[in-house]
Amino acid sequence: MSGRLTVIGLGPGDPRFLTPEAAEELGRAEFLFGYGPYLDRVALRPDQTRLASDNREEGARARAALEKAVAGAQVAMVSGGDPGVFAMAAAVCEQVESGPEAWRRLEIRIVPGVTAMLAVAAAAGAPLGHDFCAISLSDNLKPWEIVEKRLDAAASAGFVIALYNPISRARPWQLGAAFERLRAHLPAETPVIFGRAVGRDDESIVIRPLAEADPTLADMATLVMIGSPETRIIERGELPPLVYSPRFFGAKP
């Protein structure tokens, strides 16, 4: 059998989000690469080999997986959420492009998953019901000025904004700076959703108006979503509110 590399999205941290395709591909793998906490979610058989690496070693991890697959193995690379959204699928492509010719001849398959913003949106209502964008707030891979330009463009054009990688120990001020920047474009009462650990036992959804959005409400496991001027909140008494963006723009047609 020829070697093969499959990049698999596990979805948010609960098996109820794992697609049958992802489960099947996990079962086919002889070697499973990934960030340790993601691999922890996979129940491995004794004949499967786990190869965990640190969060910041995507390039080296992708190269190791490609080498193993080119040598003839069935290799899986696991990713939280969807592997195509700020995750391992692009890291693998980067290595394929700059690597040896044999890596281009390899069978590579990407298995999509439920990405964090979809799970957070579902837990909060339907904030992504209208046009939206996703921005990684990490300035490890792009200059902060580019992040600012995109925040300005998205907010002023009326996109709902999902922020991935909002904050970390090494990047403590960026989320506060992003809120400050967005306040120049958006009404003070624009809903901001802090969605943490969705699908896990410690899931939490916190909603604040933009004027009171506090970066300390987020950590590395949080997806932050900022509404557009059209985004609304339906209060429901003791039930959690529904935050949603109407499908129509302005007056209902």
Ranges within 182-221 binding its own copies (CB under 8 A) = none
125 interacts with its own copies by CB under 8 A = yes
249 interacts with its own copies by CB under 8 A = yes
Contact 13, 38 (CB under 8 A): no
246 interacts with its own copies by CB under 8 A = yes
Rounded Cα distance between 3 and 105, Å, is 10
Contact residue for its own copies among 133, 205, 206, 221 (CB under 8 A): 133
Rounded Cα distance between 25 and 226, Å, is 35
26 interacts with its own copies by CB under 8 A = no
Q: Which of residues 60-99 bind its own copies (CB under 8 A)?
A: 82-87, 89-94, 96-97
Q: Which of 8, 30, 32 is nearest to 20 (CA)?
A: 8
Contact 80, 38 (CB under 8 A): yes
Q: Which of residues 142-161 bind its own copies (CB under 8 A)?
A: 142-143, 146, 149-150, 152-154, 156-159
Residue pointed to by tokens 């909603």: 207
DSSP, collapsed to helix, strand or coil, labels residue 99 as: coil
6 interacts with its own copies by CB under 8 A = no
N-terminal to C-terminal alpha carbon distance within the chain: 58
| Least distance to its own copies, CB of residue 212, Å | 23
What tokens does 10 get?
Answer: 């596990």
User: Which CB atom, from 46 or from 236, has the smaller least distance to its own copies?
Assistant: 236
Q: Which of residues 95-124 bind its own copies (CB under 8 A)?
A: 96-97, 104-105, 107-108, 110-115, 118-119, 121-123
10 interacts with its own copies by CB under 8 A = no
**Other C-beta atoms lying within 10 Å of the C-beta of residue 24:** 12
| Least distance to its own copies, CB of residue 75, Å | 16
